[in-house]
Amino acid sequence: MSPDNPTPTNSIEERVFALAGLAQALRQVRQIAETGQADSAVLATAVDSVFRLDADTPVEVYGDERALRPGLQLLLDYFTNSGEAKDELLPRLALAVIQLERRFVREEATAHKVQEGILALAPNAERLGSAHPDVLGQLGTLYADTVSHLRPRVMVQGNPHYLGQAAIVSEIRAVLLAALRSAVLWRQLGGSLWDFVLRRRAMVGAVQSHLRL
């Protein structure tokens, strides 16, 4: 998750992969906060991406393109105001993470601690699986010890019953770390908030093209 090695490409097609990763990770944050449950496959994709620091291409951060279909569909629904009833809190959460990413990359000491922590946890994730409760707990602790101290803080709303459980909070923090990883990747690919104003049509076209595959 190092901010020091930006990827040279600025392809819209590749940027939407990072946005899809961000969207589906945050959708899981919202689902966990409301229901205490996550989609196991989507959760694994999100947390796996945290440990893929040396992937050769943006899509390899998430395993393969098929793993990003939930996020691509989410993007299409929001961009075109279609699909099922949309969660109004999800875009706000995404904006909060994008804003947090700006602070994160400026705080080099924090970014370094996060990267070191991920590398230290990687063998455990390899042995147990990245979505194992122990690994999620460790990633949650890493987030709490580092990213949680940055401002603006990402505030997650949900069911108080679940948000009062330490294991659920750790899982949410672990997935927020995955969302931050996607936000960093998006910026490395040349993404900016202007994309949503000036390149919206191009992004919709890229998303539709990937969903047709």
Structure tokens that stand for 180 in this block: 């931050």
Instruction: Count CB-CB contacts under 10 A for residue 73.
Output: 17
Model pLDDT, residue 11? 87
Q: Report yes or no on 122 lying in a domain.
A: yes
CATH for 97: 1.10.3890.10
Question: Which residue numbers in the chain have pLDDT < 70?
Answer: 1-10, 84-85, 213
Cα 168 from Cα 165, distance rounded (Å): 5
Cα 51 from Cα 20, distance rounded (Å): 18
Model pLDDT, residue 5? 45
Q: Report yes or no on 102 lying in a domain.
A: yes
Q: Report yes or no on 5 lying in a domain.
A: no
Q: Report yes or no on 132 lying in a domain.
A: yes
Model pLDDT, residue 213? 62
Model pLDDT, residue 85? 61
Instruction: Count CB-CB contacts under 10 A for residue 43.
Output: 23
Q: Report yes or no on 6 lying in a domain.
A: no
Model pLDDT, residue 82? 82
Q: Report yes or no on 30 lying in a domain.
A: yes
Look up the domain containing 145 and give its range. Answer: 12-212
Q: Are 13 and 201 in contact (CB under 8 A)?
A: no
Q: Report yes or no on 3 lying in a domain.
A: no
Model pLDDT, residue 6? 40
Cα 165 from Cα 53, distance rounded (Å): 30
Q: Report yes or no on 199 lying in a domain.
A: yes
Model pLDDT, residue 65? 94
Environment class of residue 149 by beta-carbon count within 10 Å: exposed (0-12), middle (13-18) or buried (19+)?
exposed
Q: For the chain, how many structural domains are there in total?
A: 1
